């Protein structure tokens, strides 16, 4: 049997994968057999006969199969890694060094062994090490190949580690370290002091020895500083020699003691196999099968829940995978239909909408000319075509007529044709019949965060991106529309159909971004990794925002990115850069028109307040357009909705109108009623100060131009809350080799307090939780080696909650603490005084005045102590592990016992009533007593009664209920009961007291 047959045999016969036994029935996880896989370097819980063989690199299992399931997100490329192993009779010491390693986030520090492999071009670490460190990263796949050109694919994460020499602060940051299940390094390859004591030239070398001999890190040549030779100890030929690196002494060469097994020889080489799925391009590969076998009990996934696809998304993705083809220089993707049901004939409805459009165009000749020109361009460029009437009555496909109308982008004075795919006819619309598809678009915040990383900025735009992706010919009948030939409104309208994905269709965004990523997958192997990564990470719909370190990198990026997209029929144009030298490498026709500021909003609407990039100064600023809105609750809401500030640079400055709107809501002011005088004055004062926002400037690049070589990058989060609001602000702190410091805002958030009254400690904890959430988002989006992370709050209560691991809290506190623990560690949380906390502005707001420049600068660049040595930072309180006994958020350990006392002497029935706390239990108890009572009476009266030994009947429960009620009534209303039961009742008296 081969491996596959053995695995099928074991599965069909329900045998244990570890011991190959079935009696008693069990799995490998619960198997009592202690023997593990004997294949060298494996040690997993499966039999050696079930150890997976390697797969040839060109195996069909590694090829993409259309229609296979895949995840919804764009992930990193599959990477090929090569290694080899040979056997020898001598014991060889490899370049292995004991180190301390941490996740670089203030978490645990672990002592372990690292292998300095200068024959490898990438670094690896064990999954077990990353789990102990709490290190997390983005998912990645790579293929391990042997000298026989066989490979098997592994899945892991790319993490960042900080490695230092034992008993030393000297070390380095390892970025882009890939997780692996095993490293083929054995304990016998680790040198020790007893080995080197036998060589005279090594006697002064001392090696720290660790109890755990597992090698958990392999450092390749992607970190050359780890391999620098600071000092050397040599002997004669064929004798071991010592090298001192920044991580300590290492010994290489043959030892005197013989080898008792194989020696691993490593050569690791990374090759990119690019794609846009996270499941081996959807194939049911051997690696995927093994993953299901080994990890079936472990449901944790490296992909966050927010990235998981719904069933409809998976169906849409499958349709895209099965239908995508490359035709005439463009990708073609079918519309993702929900079902095969035909659409009703809505031509009459489309004609009515066309008549409404006709009236609008007749009133505005300029609009008619521009709209006609836009539609004619569609026809001239092959995006639309006139329908051949010979095929007009082809009913094999759904036929749908799209109403359309012009949308005017006031910022660009440009007309865009938008098709109303949401228009309903007979209760159905085109969008109702289409699947939206997975959201493959990058987060705008993520793109902007990465756009600020490096000094050289480049921006470009994909020309008419939606129209570069064709629809399948069978879908074109669903994209019909009516239009007058040459825009002549006096003629009869004719029928046309779109050949490309249209603006307005719910599926267009997903289909076009899918095609863009598919192009990178198909052609990425011919281009630089950074270029392909740019397509995956630095596009927001059709806009590319990229930053690089040097002008040469920028030039190469422009050239390669243009070529890569051209292969898929996408045309990059409107290039912009903050460096004239970069722009000069772009043809004049492809450069953007002469502009000074760039807006980052995709919506064709006018904003009252919007962030923009000043190219000359290379700063972010604000464009203020004070619109005339009515002084009503509706007017304020309209104004707030038109504010565009995605990174929250102006968050505390625009908190005031949100608070005014909330007060109006609390007071129940009608939407269109005039504002009360108090709120009108506050609203007017805030609007009058809006012009001061135009003086705010935030550097686009996090790094100051005055800094030399960067030594460390640190991320600091501040949070605060008040009765009126809460918020956070985050800063990146750069320190160069000369100890110069640069600090700039990364993101800010400012929110009003909820209408329902919430205690300040709960508000403070909510702000701290928001800070943790923002940190998680930043770590997922930023591509910088963060050396340290600190969370600051001025609430000692919050710090006591976070630092205390033994106390049990009520649900509100416990849930938020769990979220904080999932993202950070308690040791990363510090106290800062309120007067030094810049997040105080986020919770209370900053007045828009010309004399508050110091407050704004402190908000944008952080508190003064961040620019000082750490010894001058805020001192930490001593009582952060103590919680007040009277804190009402703490669950009490003592049980609450409710005791009712009475001076009365209870009879037996009264004690019975007080004994039971359950009404039903009391009913059953009384029913049993009454049954026993009837039995005793029958014995005393010598009556012949059938003894009932069965369960209680419904009638007995009812009698017990009546007895209880009558007893309670007699105890509670004795006087009334006596009157009702007295002999005078027969004479129908009227008691005086009733």
CA geometry: angle 648, 650, 651, nearest 5 deg: 60
The tokens describing 966, both together, are: 């009558």
**What are the DSSP calls for 770-832, one per residue?**
HHHHHHHHHHHH--S---EEEEEES-HHHHHHHH-SS--B-HHHHHHHHHHHHH--GGGEEE-
Same domain, 670 and 747: no
Q: Residue 411 has what pLDDT?
A: 56
CATH number of the domain at 828, please. 3.30.420.10
Same domain, 360 and 413: yes
Contact 437, 313 (CB under 8 A): yes
777 in a structural domain: yes
Same domain, 686 and 761: no
Same domain, 439 and 320: yes
User: Before 346, cis peptide (omega within 30)?
Assistant: no
Tell me the average confidence (pLDDT) per consecutive run of 10 residues in the chain, 994 residues long.
67 76 71 68 70 45 34 38 46 87 78 88 86 80 57 72 84 86 80 80 84 89 87 84 89 71 48 37 34 32 53 94 95 94 91 94 93 94 88 66 87 80 92 94 93 95 95 94 93 95 94 96 92 94 94 96 96 93 91 67 49 88 80 88 88 92 88 91 90 89 92 96 94 95 96 87 95 95 94 95 87 92 94 96 90 90 95 89 80 56 59 82 89 84 71 89 89 78 55 45
CA torsion, ordered 315, 317, 319, 323, to nearest 10 deg: -170
- 198: number of Cβ within 10 Å: 12
Q: Residue 517 has what pLDDT?
A: 96
64 in a structural domain: no
Number of separate domains in the chain: 6
Same domain, 585 and 716: no
**What are the DSSP calls for 387-405, one per residue?**
PPGGGTT--SS---B--EE
Same domain, 682 and 714: no
**Domain stops at, among 858, 891, 924:** 891
Domain range spanning residue 424? 313-595
Burial class (CB in 10 A: 0-12, 13-18, 19+), 560: middle
Same domain, 887 and 972: no
- 61: number of Cβ within 10 Å: 18
The tokens describing 387, both together, are: 């329908």
332 in a structural domain: yes
Q: Residue 309 has what pLDDT?
A: 83
List CB contacts of 808: < 8 A, sequence separation 6 or more.
814, 890, 891
What is the C-alpha to C-alpha distance for residues 722 and 867, in angstroms, rounded to an integer?
Answer: 27
Same domain, 716 and 675: no
Contact 98, 209 (CB under 8 A): yes
User: Helix, strand or coil for residue 540?
Assistant: strand
Same domain, 163 and 238: yes
Same domain, 567 and 419: yes
897 in a structural domain: no
Q: Residue 988 has what pLDDT?
A: 55
* Nearest residue to 209 (alpha-carbon basis) of 132, 134, 112, 291: 112
3-state SS of 98-153 is EEEEECCCCCCEEEEEEEECCCECCCEEEHHHHHHHCCCCEEEEEEEECCCCEEEE
Strand pairing report for 494-498 and 384-386: antiparallel
The tokens describing 324, both together, are: 């995508």
Contact 693, 814 (CB under 8 A): no
pTM of the shown model? 0.62
Q: Residue 384 has what pLDDT?
A: 96
Same domain, 412 and 486: yes
**Domain stops at, among 564, 595, 626:** 595
Same domain, 113 and 12: no
Q: Residue 39 has what pLDDT?
A: 64
56 in a structural domain: no
The tokens describing 635, both together, are: 């007017």
753 in a structural domain: yes
**Domain stops at, among 700, 717, 743:** 700
900 in a structural domain: no
321 in a structural domain: yes
Q: Residue 271 has what pLDDT?
A: 44
- Whole-angstrom CA distances from 355 to 420, 842, 852 are 15, 51, 56
What is the C-alpha to C-alpha distance for residues 518 and 511, in angstroms, rounded to an integer?
Answer: 10
* Segment holding 366, helix H or strand E: helix 365-380
Q: Residue 138 has what pLDDT?
A: 76
Phi (first) and psi of residue 477, to 5 degrees:
-65, -20
* Nearest residue to 857 (alpha-carbon basis) of 710, 699, 689: 699
């Amino acid at each position: 049997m081969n491996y596959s047959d053995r695995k099928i045999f074991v599965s069909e016969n329900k045998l244990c994968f570890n011991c190959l036994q079935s009696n008693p029935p069990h799995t490998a996880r619960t198997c009592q057999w202690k023997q593990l896989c004997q294949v060298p370097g494996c040690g997993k819980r499966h039999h050696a006969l079930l150890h997976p063989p390697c797969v040839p690199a060109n195996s069909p299992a590694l090829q993409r199969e259309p229609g296979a399931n895949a995840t919804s997100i764009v992930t990193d490329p599959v990477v090929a890694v090569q290694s080899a192993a040979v056997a020898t009779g001598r014991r060889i010491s490899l370049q292995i060094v004991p180190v301390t390693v941490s996740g670089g986030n203030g978490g645990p520090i672990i002592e372990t062994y690292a292998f300095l492999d200068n024959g490898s071009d990438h670094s690896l670490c064990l999954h077990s090490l990353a789990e102990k460190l709490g290190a997390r990263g983005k998912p990645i796949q790579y293929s391990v190949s042997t000298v026989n050109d066989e490979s098997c694919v592994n899945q892991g994460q790319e993490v960042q580690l900080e490695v230092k020499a034992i008993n030393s602060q000297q070390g380095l940051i390892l970025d882009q370290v890939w997780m692996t299940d095993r490293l083929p390094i054995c304990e016998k390859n680790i040198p020790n002091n007893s080995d080197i004591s036998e060589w005279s030239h090594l006697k002064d070398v001392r090696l720290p020895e660790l109890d755990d001999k597992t090698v958990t890190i392999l450092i390749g040549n992607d970190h050359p500083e780890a391999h620098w030779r600071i000092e050397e100890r040599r002997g004669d030929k064929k004798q071991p020699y010592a090298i001192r690196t920044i991580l300590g002494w290492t010994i290489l060469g043959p030892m005197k003691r013989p080898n008792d097994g194989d020696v691993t020889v490593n050569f690791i080489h990374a090759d990119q196999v690019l794609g846009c799925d996270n499941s081996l391009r959807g194939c049911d590969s051997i690696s995927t099968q093994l993953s299901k076998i080994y990890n079936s009990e472990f449901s944790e996934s490296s992909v966050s829940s927010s990235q998981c696809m719904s069933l409809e998304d998976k169906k849409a993705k499958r349709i895209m995978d099965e239908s995508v083809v490359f035709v005439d220089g463009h990708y073609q993707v079918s519309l993702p239909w929900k079902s095969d049901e035909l659409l009703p004939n809505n031509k009459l409805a489309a004609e009515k909408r066309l008549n409404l459009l006709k009236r609008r165009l007749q009133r505005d000749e300029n609009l008619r000319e521009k709209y006609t020109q836009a539609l004619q361009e569609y026809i001239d460029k092959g995006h639309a075509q006139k329908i051949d009437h010979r095929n007009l009555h082809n009913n094999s496909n759904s036929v749908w007529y799209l109403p359309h109308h012009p949308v005017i982008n006031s910022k660009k004075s440009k007309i865009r044709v938008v098709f109303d795919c949401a228009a309903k006819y007979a209760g159905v619309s085109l969008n109702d019949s289409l699947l939206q598809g997975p959201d493959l678009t990058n987060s705008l915040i993520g793109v902007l965060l990465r756009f600020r990383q490096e000094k050289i900025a480049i921006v470009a735009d994909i020309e008419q991106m939606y129209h570069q992706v064709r629809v399948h010919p069978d879908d074109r009948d669903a994209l019909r529309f009516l239009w007058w030939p040459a825009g002549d409104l006096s003629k009869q309208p004719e029928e046309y159909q779109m050949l490309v994905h249209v603006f307005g269709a719910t599926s267009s965004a997903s289909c076009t971004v899918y095609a863009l990523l598919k192009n990178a997958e198909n052609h990425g192997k011919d281009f630089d990794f950074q270029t392909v990564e740019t397509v995956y990470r630095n596009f927001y719909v059709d806009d590319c925002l990229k930053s690089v370190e040097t002008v040469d990198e920028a030039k190469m990026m422009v050239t390669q990115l243009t070529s890569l997209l051209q292969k898929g029929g996408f045309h990059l144009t409107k290039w912009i850069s903050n460096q004239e030298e970069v722009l000069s490498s772009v043809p004049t026709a492809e450069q953007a028109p002469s502009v000074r500021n760039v807006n980052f909003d995709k919506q064709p609407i006018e904003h009252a307040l919007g962030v923009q990039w000043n190219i000359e100064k290379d700063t972010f600023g604000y464009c203020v357009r004070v619109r005339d809105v009515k002084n009503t609750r509706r007017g304020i809401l309209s104004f707030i909705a038109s504010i565009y500030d995605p990174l929250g640079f102006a968050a505390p400055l625009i908190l005031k109108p949100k608070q005014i709107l909330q007060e109006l809501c609390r007071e129940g002011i009608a939407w269109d009623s005039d504002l009360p005088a108090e709120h009108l004055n506050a609203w007017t004062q805030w609007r009058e100060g809006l012009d001061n926002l135009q003086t705010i400037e935030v550097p686009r690049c996090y790094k100051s131009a005055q800094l030399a070589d960067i030594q460390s990058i640190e991320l600091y989060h501040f949070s605060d809350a008040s009765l009126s609001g809460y918020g956070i602000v985050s800063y990146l702190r750069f320190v160069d080799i000369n100890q110069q410091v640069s600090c700039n805002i990364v993101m800010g958030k400012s929110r009003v307090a909820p209408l329902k009254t919430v205690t300040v400690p709960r508000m403070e904890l909510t702000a701290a939780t928001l800070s943790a959430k923002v940190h998680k988002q930043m770590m997922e989006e930023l591509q910088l080696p963060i050396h340290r992370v600190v969370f600051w709050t001025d609430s000692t209560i919050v710090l006591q909650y976070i630092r205390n691991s033994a106390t049990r809290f009520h649900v509100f506190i416990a849930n938020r603490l769990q979220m904080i623990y999932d993202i950070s560690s308690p040791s990363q949380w510090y106290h800062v005084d309120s007067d030094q906390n810049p997040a105080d502005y986020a919770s209370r707001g900053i007045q828009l005045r010309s004399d508050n420049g110091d407050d704004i600068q402190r908000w944008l660049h952080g508190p003064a102590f961040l620019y000082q040595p750490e010894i001058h930072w805020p001192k930490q309180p001593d009582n952060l592990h103590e919680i007040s006994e009277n804190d009402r958020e703490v669950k009490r350990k003592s049980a609450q016992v409710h005791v009712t006392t009475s001076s009365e002497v209870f009879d037996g029935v009264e004690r019975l009533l007080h004994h039971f706390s359950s009404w039903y239990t009391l009913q059953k108890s009384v029913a049993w007593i009454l049954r026993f009572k009837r039995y005793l009476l029958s014995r005393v009266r010598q009556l012949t009664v059938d003894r009932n030994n069965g369960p209680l009947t419904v009638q007995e429960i009812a009698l017990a209920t009546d007895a209880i009620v009558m007893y309670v009534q007699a105890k509670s209303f004795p006087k009334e009961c006596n009157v009702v039961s007295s002999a005078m009742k027969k004479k129908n008296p009227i008691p005086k007291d009733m």
